[in-house]
Amino acid sequence: MAKASKAFVCQACGAVTARWSGKCAACGEWNSIIEETAAPAGPPALQTGVDKSYYDFLLGARYAAPVSDAWRLVFSADLSAGDTDGTWSISGYGVYRTGPHRFYAGYRHLEIDLDGAAGESVKETFSGPAIAYGFSF
The b/e string for 42-59 (b: 16+ C-beta within 10 A; e otherwise) is eeeeeeeebeeeeeeeee
47 within domain boundaries: no
27 within domain boundaries: yes
Q: How many angstroms separate the CA atoms of 18 and 34, rounded?
A: 11
DSSP 127: E
- Encode pLDDT of 109-120 as tens digits: 999 887 766 667
26 within domain boundaries: yes
74 and 104 part of one domain: yes
pTM of the model: 0.55
Average pLDDT in the 9-15 region?
86
Question: Residues 130, 107: contact at Cβ < 8 Å?
Answer: yes
43 within domain boundaries: no
In the predicted structure, residue 20 carries a pLDDT above the cut 60: yes
101 within domain boundaries: yes
Amino acid 21: pLDDT: 86
Number of domains in the chain: 2
- Encode pLDDT of 116-133 as tens digits: 666 677 788 999 999 999
45 within domain boundaries: no
Containing structural domain, residue 32: 5-38
33 and 90 part of one domain: no
Q: What is the sign, positive or negative, of the torsion defined by CA atoms of 24, 30, 32, 33?
A: positive
What is the residue-wise DSSP string for 4-30?
PEEEEEETTT--EESS--SB-TTT--B
71 and 116 part of one domain: yes
71 and 23 part of one domain: no
- Encode pLDDT of 47-81 as tens digits: 555 556 778 899 999 999 999 999 999 999 999 98
Question: Residues 40, 2: contact at Cβ < 8 Å?
Answer: yes
Query: How would residue 3 be classed by pLDDT, with cut points 50, 70 and 90?
Result: low
The torsion angles phi and psi of 63, rounded to 5 degrees, stand at: -135, 130
